[in-house]
Amino acid sequence: MQPASSPLHPFRHQVSHLALPAKFTYPFHYTPHPLCVLAAEEVKAYLAGQTQWRQELDAGKMFGVLVVQTTEGIGYLAAFSGLLAGENLHPFFVPPVYDLLRPDGYFKQEEERISAINRQIEAEELDDRYLTLAKELRREEESAQMAIGHAKAEMKAAKASRELRRKTGPAPTEVEAAAMVRESQHQKAEVKRLERSWKERLMDLKAELARYEERISGLKAERKNRSAALQQWLFAQFKILNARGETKDLCEIFARTVHRVPPAGAGECALPKLLQCAYLHGWKPLAMAEFWWGRSPLNEVRYHGYYYPSCRGKCEPILTHALQGLEVDENPLSAHLHEAKELEVVFEDEWLLVVNKPAGMLSVPGKGADDDSVYRRMKERYPKVTGPLIVHRLDMATSGLLLVAKTKEVHRQLQAQFAARSIKKRYIALLDGLLTDIPQEGRISLPLCLDPLDRPRQLVSFEHGKPAITDYRLLEQAGDRTRVLFYPLTGRTHQLRVHAAHPAGLGHPIAGDTLYGQKAERLYLHAEYLEFRHPVSGDTICLQAEADF
């Protein structure tokens, strides 16, 4: 079934001189096709004129464009991720895969039932009698504890007095001994009676309070069951098409993933919407691009107008299905993994070596068995050595000095130096843009953690992140770039990249950073200096490798 209205936009500019892409865009690492750039610019111009959305657009949102081929020619579709101004239906943009906001739909009706349960729970929890009972019970329990505690203390003191009399005074007569026994028995019985008395006084309060709590627990259980059932029902409504005409719902799509359950918001990102619309109309998808519009979120790095890859957590399983039947570009990173690159050895002895890793080479093997890496090269070079063992890592896109141990003991000692932060490292980088109103030298301290829905991107999180500290020094500014030295005091994943790009850091991404900035010939980040204590000789080893930029 096709939507009643067509969201297809013709290009406002002449595009006949632009060659059509041979294959569809690989959505997780790409350079936008010129047609997508033109489409995105037209969408940006449209957004700039929508003053009624200014507040939400300023807050930041991801948009996407899809260039399609129809029987009448070339056009493009536009979409936004999630909701826009609280709605998911806007004439300029493609409709959602499933409209969960339809007022007469099951989702909204069931959502209202759950909201009604929430109101019931709130009313019960704020009921005057319930709050009074809870306070009265706490007060009575405290009084009971004090009264019983006092009685037990008196009983204990009396027992100690009797023991002292037996040990220090003349031996008690038979009558006195019997009296002491009766006194002990009486005090124990009094404590038991006191405990029973308080238990009975508290019992009625607890019973009345329990009736409220049972109602509240029952409502909460009903809310939980209804919410889970509604979520499951909703996932089943997202029936995703692919180019072969095959359909799978989100439950089927995510069944083989690690978590097996679709994450919240799955199917509501821009690209799944765009592909679904194209397939419903019988249009052929040619190329895609997604861009950010507005301010960067506080916990991640997004730049206004920059292009970004599709997220992996929500979109990769969906797109794996949705792109079936299309010829898709190869992941450009995979091509780099098989390129033969020179690996320069900067220092070597019988215990360890330091290499100058080129950009585009992995430190350790990835998922592919044939992926080139420093580890693989070292294994081939020293087949009889136990190890060699990579002591630390550099991102695939980062070049520079990498420390390799030839024995497990040397590896252990070098890693201990890293843990103690006694190894000194210095990186050089080119940042996009000119840095103004930033001190010449300083320290960046932004804790980092993995974004579970968009690996391997990192988030800035003061709640869940691990400490990440970087010292920096600005060197020079030329053209539209700034040369910077980085001195990382910790070694978190993407630490320098996020600390450079985040608004609370330097606010300018490293040139060529496809995750946090814009693509260029390479990532302009190089580990140029390394200083450590040799674990065998004890000598201080200082090594430097100049960057080729």
**239-291 residue pLDDT tens:** 999 999 999 999 999 998 888 889 989 999 999 999 999 999 999 999 999 99
Contact 457, 300 (CB under 8 A): yes
pLDDT of 171: 86
Phi then psi for residue 177, to 5 deg, are: -60, -40
pLDDT of 2: 41
Interval 497-517 mean pLDDT: 95
CA dihedral 193, 194, 198, 199 (to 10 degrees): -40
pLDDT of 337: 60
Confidence bin at 3 (pLDDT 50/70/90): very low
> Which residues are catalytic, by number?
395
**Pairing between strand 284-293 and 307-308?**
antiparallel
Interval 489-498 mean pLDDT: 96
217-238 as b/e: b if 16+ CB within 10 A? eebeeebeeeeeebeeebbebb
Weakest mean pLDDT among 171-175, 220-224, 344-348, 545-549: 171-175
Tens digits of residue pLDDT in 341-381: 789 999 999 999 999 999 999 999 877 656 789 999 998 88
Tens digits of residue pLDDT in 303-353: 999 999 999 989 999 999 999 999 999 988 776 665 667 899 999 999 999
Parse the chain into domains and list their residue ranges. 9-98+238-329, 112-210, 336-544
Interval 429-454 mean pLDDT: 94
pLDDT beyond 60 at 1: no
User: What three-state secondary structure class fits 391?
Assistant: coil
CA dihedral 403, 406, 410, 415 (to 10 degrees): 40
Q: Is 440 exposed, middle or buried (0-12, 13-18, 19+ CB in 10 A)?
A: exposed
Tens digits of residue pLDDT in 171-201: 888 888 898 899 999 999 999 999 999 999 8
pLDDT of 339: 65
pLDDT beyond 60 at 4: no
- What residues contact residue 182 under an 8 Å CB cut-off, 6+ apart? none
270-281 and 312-322 helices, crossing angle to 10°: 20
CATH of domain 336-544: 3.30.2350.10
pLDDT of 91: 93
Interval 198-219 mean pLDDT: 93
What is the average pLDDT value for the chain, to the nearest integer?
92
Interval 474-497 mean pLDDT: 95
pLDDT of 334: 75
